[in-house]
Amino acid sequence: MEKYAAIIDKDKDSAYGVYFPDLIGCFAAGDTEDEALDNARISLRMYAEDLVETGQALPRARTIHELRADRDVRESLDEGGFFVLVPLLFSDKKRRVNVMLEPSLIAAIDDVARISGTSRSDYLAHAAWRAIEQEAGAVKVRTTLSASRKKKSAATRNVKARSLAPA
C-alpha cells in the first residue's frame, strides 16, 4: 500500500489548504481540517485515476524524511503546516484466497449478499474496502476503466489526434 504525504495548512482568514508535494497539481481545500482532508482524498483518487487512464505511472511517494529535506516542504511546515499520510490502494484483478469464518457468520454474510443481489466474495470485498477506507483513510483507485469511461477516453484521444493532425 503506497502512502502519499499531504500537507495541510491554513493562512489567517482562509480555508484549510491541502497539497501533495509528490503529485504536482494535486490539491484540495475545505472549511475544516476534516473537510479539507476528505476533499484531498477525492483529489488524490481523481489524480491517480487520470494517470491510470492515460497509461502513466504515479510518481514514487517520498518518505517523510525525504520530504523534510525538501526546501518548499520545510517552509510549509515552518509556517504551521502538518503532514497527513493518505494510503492509496489499487483495485485490480481478483485472486482466490481461503479464509476461515464461523459458520453462523458465513450464513449471515450469504443472507445479506443474496438480499443485496451480490455474491459472498463481492460482498466481503466491498465490506473490506469500506472498512479500509473508513478506518485507514485509504483511497481506492480502479486500475481498469468501465466501458463508458473507455469509450469516453478513446473519443478524447481521437479528438486530440484529429486536432493535432496536419491539415
DSSP for 84-112 reads EEEEEEEE-----------HHHHHHHHHH
pTM of the shown model: 0.69
What are the pLDDT digits (tens) for 82-135? 999 998 888 777 888 899 999 999 999 999 999 999 999 999 988 998 898 888
Q: In the CATH hierarchy, which top-level class contains the domain 2-93+137-153?
A: alpha beta
Residue from 31, 27, 10, 30 nearest 18 by CA: 27
What are the pLDDT digits (tens) for 132-164? 888 888 888 877 655 555 555 455 444 444 444
Measured between alpha carbons, how far apart are the two ends of the chain, in Å? Answer: 47
Positions of E strands within the chain: 2-10, 16-19, 27-30, 82-91, 139-142
* Owner of C-alpha cell 525525504: 66
